[in-house]
């Protein structure tokens, strides 16, 4: 944490934006209705890489969270992306955006409160070995606030450039939620990481196993969009991922090393839990970005991604859309929330049958149907002309269907 300014006001562990805003971008492109009224979005320019960014304003703990919002572009801004889960979404809470009211979900509200309190804190918890040592950009990109969720056209535009949003971000900030056990884990791991040859006492093993399981079982790791958000950030030359504990910023790679180092001294059960966790998959990719002994690496075929990442998502179409940026064979697919699940299946399958062997078609179709949770294909797909299967027959005329 940097020291406060000379005037005695609270200091921020933030850096000033290093890139200038485009000349045609106003400081805040959103309207400012009467204070207290519902926040109204102004339209983004869908012909450019336009986005919205927010900045959390300092304020006493317990007060309403206040933010400003502005329009800018990906290429001309410094910002931090938040990676989190929308659940728990209820109850909803109001926050102030440009002095107007906007409703956000429970987990996001907890983050905004915790982050505001962290920025105001002069002496945060010191995890010297695990601490994320870079200073954060003050502007935040948070999907639930920065995308007008009720506007399908805008949602298509923003999700299509999601990979670029996370690739160009100065930092990606992971919020696991308010998990007290994780705070204890980070403290214990920091002590272990500080020791060259950590020895875990017998009476500490059970506690560490419990804390590690709580960390691995965080709902965050079961969220599908995390796949893109973490793996895209891992693929940049300067790894820039931090976990926000509510008390401190934890460096992602340092945390993975500390967990791996400590787990080996706990026992076989802890090792098994680590190797079976999604966190292990992301951690290995971030550190090594290789594929030794079959370890997963991106980009990969969509079929492999659907099998490797069976995580949860509220909109089942995101089972495809959320993996596009880490796939190497989906250039023909565009994010389009106007498509039904059946239409999306038809489009993807019809394209894939041109490039895969006949014996793989049925297998891929089954994987895609299961991923989209189509249930009864004949009812869900509404293939009046069975075009996907017609193309399959055209590509393999030697077989009869």
Supply the DSSP string of 221-269, one letter for each residue.
GGBTHHHHHHHHHHTSSS--EEEE-SS-EEEHHHHHHHHHHHHTTT-HH
Residues contacting residue 387 through CB under 8 Å, at least 6 positions apart: 346, 350
DSSP summary character for residue 91: S
Q: Give the position of tokens 């410094």.
A: 78
What share of the chain has pLDDT > 90, as a percent? 50
- Cα(292)–Cα(275) distance, integer angstroms: 15
| Exposure class string for 342-366: b at 16+ Cβ within 10 A, else e | bbbbbbbbbbbbeeeeeeebeebbe
Q: Give the position of tokens 């370890």.
A: 295
Residue 39 phi/psi, 5-degree rounding, is: -70, 135
pTM listed for this prediction: 0.83
Q: Confidence class of residue 292 from pLDDT cuts 50, 70 and 90?
A: very low
Q: What is the pLDDT of residues 145-181, one digit of tens each?
A: 999 999 999 999 999 999 999 999 999 999 999 888 8
Angle at 311 between CA 286 and CA 320, to 5 degrees: 90
Question: Which stretch of 78-87, 103-112, 191-200 has the lowest confidence by average pLDDT?
Answer: 191-200
Calculate mean pLDDT across residues 93-117.
95
The yes-or-no verdict on residue 345 having pLDDT over 90 is yes
- Cα(65)–Cα(97) distance, integer angstroms: 9
Q: Give the position of tokens 């601490």.
A: 131
Q: Confidence class of residue 298 from pLDDT cuts 50, 70 and 90?
A: low
- Cα(303)–Cα(370) distance, integer angstroms: 12
Residues contacting residue 357 through CB under 8 Å, at least 6 positions apart: none
- Strand-pair category, 100-104 with 140-141: unpaired
Locate 372 and state its tokens: 């989209």
Question: Which stretch of 38-52, 200-214, 301-315, 367-381 has the lowest confidence by average pLDDT?
Answer: 367-381
Q: Confidence class of residue 31 from pLDDT cuts 50, 70 and 90?
A: low
- Cα(106)–Cα(114) distance, integer angstroms: 12
E strand or H helix that includes residue 180: helix 180-193
Calculate mean pLDDT across residues 200-208.
77
- Strand-pair category, 66-73 with 93-97: parallel
- Cα(194)–Cα(196) distance, integer angstroms: 7
Map residue 342 onto helix, strand or coil. helix
The yes-or-no verdict on residue 23 having pLDDT over 50 is no
- Cα(142)–Cα(297) distance, integer angstroms: 26
Averaged pLDDT of the chain: 82
> Which pLDDT does position 285 carry in this prediction?
80
Q: How many other C-beta atoms lie within 10 A of the C-beta of residue 382?
A: 11
| DSSP secondary structure letters along 298-327 | SSB-HHHHHHH---B-SSTTHHHHTTGGGB
């Amino acid at each position: 944490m940097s020291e406060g300014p000379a005037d005695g006001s609270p200091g921020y562990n933030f850096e000033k934006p290093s890139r200038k805003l485009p000349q045609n971008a106003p400081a805040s492109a959103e309207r400012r209705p009467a204070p207290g009224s519902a926040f109204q979005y102004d339209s983004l320019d869908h012909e450019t890489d336009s986005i919205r960014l927010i900045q959390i304003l300092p304020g006493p703990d317990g007060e309403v969270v206040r933010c400003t919002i502005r329009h800018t572009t990906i290429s001309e801004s410094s910002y931090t992306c938040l990676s989190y889960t929308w659940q728990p979404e209820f109850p909803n809470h109001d926050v102030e955006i440009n002095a107007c009211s906007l409703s956000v979900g429970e987990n996001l509200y907890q983050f905004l409160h915790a982050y505001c309190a962290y920025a105001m804190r002069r002496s945060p918890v010191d995890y010297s070995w695990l601490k994320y040592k870079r200073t954060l950009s003050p502007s935040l990109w948070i999907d639930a606030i920065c995308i007008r969720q009720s506007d399908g056209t805008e949602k298509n535009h923003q999700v299509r450039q999601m990979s670029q949003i996370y690739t160009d971000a100065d930092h990606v900030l992971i919020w696991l939620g308010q998990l007290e056990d994780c705070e204890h884990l980070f403290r214990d791991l920091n002590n272990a990481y500080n020791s060259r040859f950590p020895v875990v006492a017998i009476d500490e093993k059970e506690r560490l196993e419990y804390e590690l399981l709580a960390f691995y079982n965080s709902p965050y790791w079961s969220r599908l969009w995390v796949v893109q958000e973490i793996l895209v950030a891992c693929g940049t030359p300067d790894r820039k991922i931090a976990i926000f504990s509510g008390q401190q910023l934890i460096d992602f790679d340092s945390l993975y090393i500390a967990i791996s180092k400590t787990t080996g001294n706990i026992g076989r059960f802890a090792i098994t839990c680590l190797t079976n966790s999604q966190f292990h998959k992301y951690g290995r990719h971030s550190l090594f970005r290789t594929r030794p002994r079959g370890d997963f690496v991106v980009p990969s075929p969509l079929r492999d991604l659907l099998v490797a990442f069976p995580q949860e998502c509220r909109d089942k179409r995101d089972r495809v859309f959320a993996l596009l940026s880490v796939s190497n064979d989906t250039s023909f697919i565009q994010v389009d929330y106007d498509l039904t699940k059946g239409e999306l299946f038809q489009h993807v399958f019809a394209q894939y049958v041109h490039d895969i062997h006949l014996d793989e078609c049925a297998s891929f179709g089954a994987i895609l149907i299961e991923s989209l949770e189509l249930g009864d294909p004949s009812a869900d797909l509404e293939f009046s002309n069975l075009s996907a299967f017609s193309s399959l027959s055209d590509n393999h005329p030697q077989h009869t269907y």
